[in-house]
Structure 1
Amino acid sequence: MSTQSTPRLGLDYVLAAQAQKHVTVNESLRRLDALVQTTVISRSTDAQPGSPADGDAYILTAQAAGAEWELMAADGLTIYRDAEWSEITPRSGWRVWVEDEQVLMVFAEGDWVRFTDSIDELQDLQSLGLGTSADAANPFSAKLNGALWTALTSGEGGNGDLRCSLNKEAAGKVLSLIFQSAYSGRAEMGLLGDDDFCLKLSSDGSAWQEVLRARPDRFLIQSSAGLAVSAINGTAPSVRRNRIINGDFGIAQRGDSFVAASSGDRLLDLWKLASAGGMTVDVARRAFAPGQNDVPGSPSNYLEWALDGTAAGYPAIEQRIEGVDCLPEGTAILSLYASASRPVSMTATFRRHFGAGGSSSDVLVQQTLSLTTSWSRQTVVVPVASLDGKTLGDNHSLALEFNLQNGEAAVDIALADIQLEPGDVASPFERLSHAENLQRCQRYFAKTYFHDTAPGSTTMTGALRSATSGPGDTAIFDWRLPVAMRAAPTVTVYSPQTGAAGVIDAAGTDLAANVLSGSEVAVAIQSVAHSGLDLAAAHIAASAEF
């Protein structure tokens, strides 16, 4: 033998011809008694006990004090036997049960660590219970007051991400999370028997009501009580989100085609040619082909803005939105669909006009949109600055302008479903009924003609009538406007027979007429006197646009 003791526990060998062999054997038995199924009282006791019992053992601390303990090394084992303390130097891998902590320690790399801290891998466990017992129905069970999952950082060898995946065998199976109160289910969410994401609720744990179902292309609210929300994109549910009026170009009270339009000309309702920019400009409302899917939501119309020649300025169309305070402070978003006959850049600008006697105009945002020959959705985030310190004058407004650059060549631009809403999420276009859309437009422009008949057309349909008799009579027409207008309107009178402006029809004769009175809700006109005036007729158009 190369040594006189065993290599692992340090037990002395009994040597040949050794006297008093029992001494060696007994010492080895004492060491075995200390090291086999090793138990210590504590690993945090600093002071050497004054009245230890035979067999008491400790792991020594760095602050160990006492006649014998202070001579021993920290982290060593000390065992009291035969009225004295013996020191045993631990080796890597030795395990010790610490009674006062009820913990198993292992000696590794010169230090005592919890045995559980040394475990870096568990495989193929049949069950696991944390703070409770697992069973066949719940092979993983945990009873605790908090849990944390955190990503392994890049510095620790990970990538900083954390993604938890739950998987089911097939679409017809269930993958869900159930939320309970006193072990009675109240909510369940997940893939409940199909691949839709669902949320179910229960008041008693037995009767369940599906309230939400989400698919890649649809979000369904199925609660029998409906949906109660305080705001949608920052707007109360009863208030229309879209601040743009006639953004789908469904209303065309002045007609749906404007050839060689001039700067300042009114186009489809609420839209104006702000500048022709030295180009020949034609504007028309076009119909989408039935079943098209380039622009979602089944829109009916789009605006075609055709420009010919070379721009000697900045061709632009605009809409003025009533009130610079039409958007709350914060963020708004513009969305629209657009295409062009060739790739071209178009600028979208939001400008606040503070009105007569108000503060100077300012620009909220100006952004270049890149249009291609295919329809694409364009968005512009609009930072809405505070109105603090601003003065609001008469007729203040927010202007949306689309313009091309000086020097731009001929191009045809198509625009559809223009929407401006509070918040930073562009929601699907808010499509209104024709009747509601028309009413919103009539706050700014109204007429007695049928809605698809342009002012100045020769038709009696919708014309006002005035019964008169006797020589020297005048014809008076009272018209109650279909909705209250933004302001007392500018009124134009037309003859139903000839379409001439500024006159009424008196049995085939055009008579000059003037506004007798006008307000936001009603207009009255009166013709000049006419000998033998018989039944008279007139059309009226009223504008309260910016």
Structure 2
Amino acid sequence: MPVLIPKKLTTLQNAAYIGLDGELVTVIGLGVALHDGETPGGTIYERQKMISGRNLLRNGDFAVQQNGNSWLGIPTVGSSSYTADGWFYQRGGGSTANIAISESYLDNNLQIQRALRLTTFSGGGSSAFSVFSERIPGALLFSGKTLSLSFWAKCNTARSIAVEIGNDFKSVVTNQRLLIGKADLTTQWKYFSYTFKFPDRPTVFTRGVDHHSWLYFWLEAGDDYNSRTGGISTYSGSFDLADVQLEESEVSTPFERLEYHKSREKVREHFEVVTSVISLGKYGDNITDAKVGGYIPFGTTKRKAPTVTATYDFLTGGAVFGVSEQGFNVSGTANSATSPARVLTYKADSEIQPT
């Protein structure tokens, strides 16, 4: 009985191979590629990348929305704002933005489930810029590695954005950064994929508090940043971004869409919002004492002790203390004879802030 043996190609050979619609090719040492008769390289499925968790970024499809789903006129103060969980908008030179997560801008693209629209209002000068970014703890996380970045994007007019990766040692050591490329956006959804090697670690280095690696999408930038961005220029307009994935791989693989609770757990290592009502109990040796308190464990252990803010009801002088990676304590004075003192919401934030 005849046996169908798939064609065997090296990674470079497959990258240039178009093949037939539905043809399966073995990519030596990597996995398999499914071809459609039109796209060079086809769709790669790596054997070593079939396990969950290959995306080095968190919330690349913006499914987790603890921090809301829209942000208008940001930042109202300072140079950055926390937006979709895991992601920051950064600006310079007076630029601002409106940002919203939506399923309304998909244009029947069945590859994506939701998108993030960033509408920039550029300051227009040489120092103006708008950047969408994420930070990952560990300045040496990417050192010497071959990485692949993929995403979907479009704009309300044809123009280029710059994509950059780098690290911050939070010390006297010079930070490393690499311009991954310029993505030429159109008014239609377009898939982008880049493979690159990150610089090797320095021979001598020290690391300070919150050392990290980062990914930047430069949406617009003035002349002060031409050498860094390739001269994308300032711009006021709408950008749409979806399914951002960064992986240690020689090729980009299909976007890994995690189950919601798994995606939320990755986010909650850095940022957690809880709106469940948590009642507080009395403490002290006096039965009539109105002092109350309690220990509240986090839903997910944090990467470091976070900044915690809370809201209360039926409680005077509510205060947070004893914060650790695992949880925090609350104390205060109950002010109702009929309703228990309670925590209404809390936010625990250990995200690395832009500087």
Q: TM-score range by the shorter chain?
A: 0.7 to 0.9
1:242 corresponding residue in structure 2: 55
Residue among 376, 383, 398 paired with 2:213: 398
SS in 1 for 2:253: coil
- The 4+ residue runs of structure 1 with deviation greater than 4 A are 195-199, 212-215, 217-221, 469-472, 528-534
Residue 421 (structure 1) aligned with residue 247 (structure 2): yes
1:283 corresponding residue in structure 2: 99
CA drift at 1:276: 5.7
2:256 corresponding residue in structure 1: 430
1:27 corresponding residue in structure 2: none
> 2-side partners of 1:359 and 1:368: how far apart?
27
Q: CA RMSD in A?
A: 3.2
Deviations 1:141-167 (A, max 9, x none): xxxxxxxxxxxxxxxxxxxxxxxxxxx
Residue among 281, 294, 313 paired with 1:505: 313
CA drift at 1:364: 2.6
> 2-side partners of 1:197 and 1:505: how far apart?
63
SS in 2 for 1:189: coil
2:349 corresponding residue in structure 1: 543
- For normalisation by structure 2, the TM-score amounts to 0.77
Residue 515 (structure 1) aligned with residue 323 (structure 2): no
> 2-side partners of 1:314 and 1:520: how far apart?
35
1:465 corresponding residue in structure 2: 279
Paired residues, what number?
308
- Greater strand share, 1 or 2? 2
Letter in 2 for 1:402: F
> 1-side partners of 2:136 and 2:34: how far apart?
35
Letter in 2 for 1:387: R
Indicate conservation of the 8 Å contact 2:69/2:101, yes or no. yes
CA drift at 1:314: 1.0
SS in 1 for 2:129: coil
SS in 1 for 2:267: helix
SS in 2 for 1:511: strand
Give structure 1 stretches of 5+ with no counterpart: 1-173, 177-186, 200-211, 222-226, 450-461, 495-503
2:138 corresponding residue in structure 1: 323
1:342 corresponding residue in structure 2: 157
The 1:219/1:402 distance shift into structure 2, 3 A limit, reads closer
Letter in 1 for 2:82: R
The 1:196/1:249 distance shift into structure 2, 3 A limit, reads closer
From the CA coordinates, give the structure whose radius of gyration is larger: 1
The 1:544/1:530 distance shift into structure 2, 3 A limit, reads same
The 1:198/1:421 distance shift into structure 2, 3 A limit, reads closer
Deviations 1:201-235 (A, max 9, x none): xxxxxxxxxxx9966499899xxxxx9x5x23xxx
Indicate conservation of the 8 Å contact 1:364/1:382, yes or no. no
1:254 corresponding residue in structure 2: 67
CA drift at 1:293: 4.7
Give structure 2 stretches of 5+ with no counterpart: 8-20, 26-31, 223-232
2:236 corresponding residue in structure 1: 410
Indicate conservation of the 8 Å contact 1:448/1:464, yes or no. no
Letter in 1 for 2:281: A
The 1:328/1:317 distance shift into structure 2, 3 A limit, reads same
Q: With CA pairs under 8 Å and 6+ residues apart, which has the higher RCO, 1 or 2?
A: 2
> 2-side partners of 1:213 and 1:331: how far apart?
19
Indicate conservation of the 8 Å contact 2:96/2:130, yes or no. no
Deviations 1:397-451 (A, max 9, x none): 11111121126232000000101111231111111111110110000111222xx
SS in 1 for 2:346: strand
- For normalisation by structure 1, the TM-score amounts to 0.51
Identity in percent: 21
